[in-house]
Amino acid sequence: MSKYLKKISVSHFSVAILLKMVTLVSAALWAMERQRVAPSVITYNTMISACEDFDQAVKFFLAMLRQGVVPNVITYNATISTCDNSWLASQLLRAMRRQGLVPNIITYNAMIRVATLDGNEQWALELFEKMQLQGVEPTVITYNALISACGTGCLEMALEVFEAMAIIEDVLPNVITYNTMFSLCAWYAEPDIAWELFEEMRLDGVVPDVITYMTLVRAFEKGKQPERAKLCYILLSRALSHA
């Protein structure tokens, strides 16, 4: 079996484990109800955290409300993390605030991710501004999500966010940050910007991974720069041989 196929198998295996976890936790909840043992907020948080599907997460969320179990910040964060619709996520955020709960960095990161999935870059920027006004410090995860969200509108906006990271001394771009930028450069056919970022990445000491080289190959091929594409393909082959 090739290394690539092994990675796919591991991915499928992880999904299978996750699905099994949801099934087992659901069975445990059913057993608790039969024995009239009241599930706690920790029980429901565990169940929601195991969900990848928003509909399933909401079923557990509504079930806990029916049982009189009060959701906490972890509950809302886990539920929002399964969502891909800006309006639905905003309703959860409003419910959270009405309950007197304060959104934290995990909440905002999840909300910005939803904005990205929904192609709502304006809302992502509003969330970013709001979190800072509330004294919530952004992390590299926040910036990565915001770059992805802004990239749905235009590359220039994503570059502005990327450059803003340099102003925040405690937030440095990681390999995911650069890979996101390379992906946007490929999408907008901007190979020269991709090359500049690649050089900056190496100067910053951020180690490229397989995704880095695959994305750069695509960016240079789309930008009609075969020599750079060839170089990255060679680097990709080396990275795969050492994976």
Identify residue 86 by its one-letter amino acid code: S
Q: What is the pLDDT of residues 7-39, one digit of tens each?
A: 444 344 444 445 555 555 566 656 666 666 678
Residue 176 CA to residue 194 CA, distance in Å, equals 14
Residue 142 CA to residue 158 CA, distance in Å, equals 13
Identify residue 186 by its one-letter amino acid code: A
User: Do 96 and 62 form a contact (C-beta atoms < 8 A)?
Assistant: no
User: Do 157 and 121 form a contact (C-beta atoms < 8 A)?
Assistant: yes
Structure tokens at 24: 């087992």
Best CA proximity match to 219, nearest among 231, 209, 202, 207: 231
Q: What is the pLDDT of residues 138-187, one digit of tens each?
A: 999 999 999 999 988 889 999 999 998 878 767 899 999 999 999 999 99
